Amino acid sequence: LSDVTFFDPIQSSILLVEQRMRTQADGFHPELKSALTHLLSAGGKRIRVAVALLVGGMFKADQHRLITLAAAIELLHTATLVHDDLIDGALMRRGNPTLNARWTPAATVLTGDFLFAQAANLAADTKSVRVIKLFTETLATICDGEVTQMFERQFMSDFKGYEKRIYAKTASLFETGAFSAAILSDVPEQTAQDFKQYGYEIGMAFQIVDDILDYTGEQSTVGKPVASDLRQGIMTLPVLFFLEQVKQDPVVTAILDARRVSEEQIQRLLVDIRACGAVDRAIQEANRHIQAAIGILSGYPICTERLALEELARFISQRSK
Ligand code: IPE
Ligand code: IPE
Ligand code: MG
Ligand code: MG
């Protein structure tokens, strides 16, 4: 991410967030400590950290509470990835082996639980009951989204359902990050709602782009397996737009019915989806959310943080990792 400048205004705060996260396994079993170090040192874009720090910075939130909030959000995100990779059977994340690639499911689940606990502890340290409540509601929403994705395959080819799923699994946390940072800044309620909406819009775009990268990305750049959503039976925007064109596809139907499909059928379907213009339409859909996010910011006075939040929004739609 060396070519983006939205981290510039928060350079020193980011380091404090990193430090805060790194110490969360101190005094616990050495395996927990090394797992946390492994996860954090692999990188990750820290995009949710940037959102919280920039919104809080814009409205002069108390620095200590803001760092605590950003660490809580990123640690919650990290915990969801640990469990998500176990659930998906994914062996690579951030260019490194996942915990489940090296450990038993039991050890991986427990490490994820530990991270959830420490994230909740940090959220409590913000001393805002409203933020703590948002935090727990968001975790419930994320779990509900993942369970929906797992149990409701037959409803997966519906656009409204797609929007609900990506809100639950991804946009909800972006929303909570931006909203909570505004709440900690004691801004008027309407301002907090605006930044909640900003978080929602960039979060929706973020997951749409993630879903596009699953079709167009390179594993070496993205740092995690690609072309895997379809194989797992997860219907995302490129497939939905493809289906709108062809009306029906026997391989998609088979996947939705959880029937076996061959690798050759999958490969052919991937080629068809990539060729039909569905990816371009999905990009447009992501851009619609980005424009909405930038529109919200335009109602606020220009400052370093506002400009950085605009750049962050644009980065989300253009990212390749
Ligand atoms: C990955 O999130 C999970 C999704 C919500 C798509 P990121 O792409 O932000 O993951 P890192 O933190 O940068 O690795
Ligand atoms: C992950 O969604 C969302 C959560 C971690 C809750 P994905 O399954 O699309 O994320 P990746 O592609 O594995 O990062
Ligand atoms: Mg996954
Ligand atoms: Mg994905």
- Provide the token pair at 281: 């339409």
CA 112 to centroid of ligand 2, rounded, Å: 14
Q: What are the C-alpha distances in Å from 44 to residues 74, 168, 179, 227, 245?
A: 10, 21, 22, 20, 36
Segment 2-32, tens digit of pLDDT: 678 999 999 999 999 999 999 999 999 999 9
**Range from 2-11, 73-82, 90-99 that averages highest in pLDDT:** 73-82
- Distance (Å, rounded) from C-alpha 273 to C-alpha 252? 11
How far, in Å, from the CA of 309 to the mean position of ligand 4?
24
Counting ligand 1 atoms within 8 A of each CB, the residue from 4, 41, 170 with the most, and so the one to mutate, is 170
- Count of residues making up the chain: 321
* Residues 309/55, Cβ–Cβ less than 8 Å: yes
Residues with CB under 6 Å of ligand 2 are 80-81, 84, 88, 90, 142, 146, 169-170, 210, 224
On the question of pLDDT at 154 being above 70, the answer is no
pLDDT of 258 > 90? The answer is no
Residue type, 236: T
CA-wise closest residue to 273 among 229, 315, 220: 229
Q: What mean pLDDT value characterizes the chain?
A: 94
- Cα(16) to ligand 2 centroid in Å equals 26
Determine the distance separating the centroid of ligand 3 and the alpha carbon of 169, expressed in angstroms.
10
pLDDT of residue 96 exceeding 70, the answer is yes
CB atoms within 10 A of CB 152: 12
Rounded to two decimals, the pTM is 0.96
Say how far apart CA 288 and CA 310 lie, in whole Å. 14
The pLDDT value recorded for residue 313 is 97
Q: So what's the pLDDT on residue 319?
A: 86
Considering every ligand atom, which ligand is closest to the CA of 83? 2
Instruction: Give the integer Cα–Cα distance in Å for 91 and 225.
Output: 8
CA distances to 15, 157, 207, 214, 283 from 239, rounded to whole Å, are 40, 8, 15, 11, 13
Give the residue-averaged pLDDT of 135-149.
94
At 50, is the pLDDT very low, low, confident or very high (cuts 50, 70, 90)?
A: very high
Average pLDDT over residues 84-95: 93
If phi > 0 it is left, if psi is from -120 to 50 it is alpha, else beta; for residue 125 that is: alpha
Mean pLDDT of the region 138-162: 87
The number of beta carbons lying within 10 Å of the beta carbon of residue 62 is 15
SS3 of the chain: CCCCCCCHHHHHHHHHHHHHHHHHHCCCCHHHHHHHHHHHHCCCCCHHHHHHHHHHHHCCCCHHHHHHHHHHHHHHHHHHHHHHHHHHCCCEECCEECHHHHCCHHHHHHHHHHHHHHHHHHHHHCCCHHHHHHHHHHHHHHHHHHHHHHHCHHHCCCHHHHHHHHHHHHHHHHHHHHHHHHHHCCCCHHHHHHHHHHHHHHHHHHHHHHHHHHHHCCHHHHCCCCCCCCCCCCCCHHHHHHHHHHCCCHHHHHHHCCCCCCHHHHHHHHHHHHHCCHHHHHHHHHHHHHHHHHHHHCCCCCCHHHHHHHHHHHHHHHCCC
Lowest-confidence pick of 19-23, 110-114, 268-272, 287-291: 268-272
Is the predicted pLDDT of residue 307 greater than 90, yes or no? yes
Indicate which atom in ligand 2 lies nearest the CA of residue 211: 9
- Ligand nearest 89 Cα, by number? 3
Q: Is the pLDDT of residue 36 over 80?
A: yes
Q: 231 or 292, which is more confident?
A: 292
Per-residue confidence band for 42, with pLDDT thresholds at 50, 70 and 90 = very high
For residue 153, is pLDDT > 80? no
Determine the pLDDT at residue 253: 92
Flag whether pLDDT at 102 surpasses 80. yes
**Tens digit of pLDDT for each residue in 107-124?**
999 999 999 999 999 999
Query: CA-to-CA distance for 158 and 258, rounded, in angstroms?
Result: 17
Question: Span 34-57, mean pLDDT?
Answer: 96
